Amino acid sequence: MLPIVVTLFVIAVASIAKSPAEVERLIETIRYATPLGIQTLETEGLTPNLTGLLPKSILPDAYSFNISNSEDSDTASYLVDGLDYAKDAQIDMPLSSQERLELLFELVDRFIGDQDVKSFYLALMDHDHVEDLKVLSPSNYREFISHDVHKYYSPERVYQIKGPEM
């Protein structure tokens, strides 16, 4: 029997009250501060399954990003797989699932900590399949997403991270 290979993706969608040049500077600052990959996507190219869970009002002006294992990768299969790897594993990332998630959370914190980010959505999914949307606050999103990643191999969920400061 052949092994089943699941490709996991992390997509971020944000409404940012900045000019395109200022958004590009924000992204470059975040890229410089993380070992993860972050590639800008065309929001129009997101799957209907994902955009159907997002408020229609943010989509025309939203910025979308693919967050991956590294700048040389286009998937997040190791980043959010919820697995701890053996000491001799060669994955070019921390071997602990929670340590890898912390890299993602540090990146998210940089986005949601910017005063011009008006809304922030994070989708953890297998290919283009997402099932629901969960609204979280900046104070509890880490715990909730960690739980989901460790309980489900692919949470297939969109997380809206918002609070009084957003």
Look at residue 153 and tell me whether its pLDDT is greater than 80. no
Cα separation, 75 vs 78, whole angstroms: 8
**What is the structure's pLDDT at 7?**
67
Rounded CA separation 87/20 (Å) = 43
Instruction: Give a yes or no: residue 5 inside a domain.
Output: no
* Number of domains present in the structure of the chain: 1
In a domain, 112, yes or no: yes
Distance of CA 25 to the CA centre of its chain: 19
Residue 99 lies in a domain: yes
Cα of 94 vs its chain's centroid, Å: 17
Percent of the chain with pLDDT over 70: 93
C-alpha Rg value of the chain to the nearest Å: 15
Which residue range is the domain that position 93 belongs to? 22-161
Query: Regarding beta strands 132-136 and 117-126, do their DSSP bridges make them parallel or antiparallel, or are they unpaired?
Result: unpaired
pLDDT in tens, 85-140: 999 999 999 999 999 999 999 999 999 999 899 899 999 988 778 899 999 999 99
Task: Note the pLDDT of residue 29.
Answer: 92
The pLDDT score that the predictor gives to residue 5 is 45
Note whether residue 166 is domain-resident.
no
Is 6 part of a structural domain of the chain?
no
Q: Decide: pTM greater than 0.85.
A: yes
Query: Does residue 6 contact residue 152 with C-beta atoms inside 8 Å?
Result: no
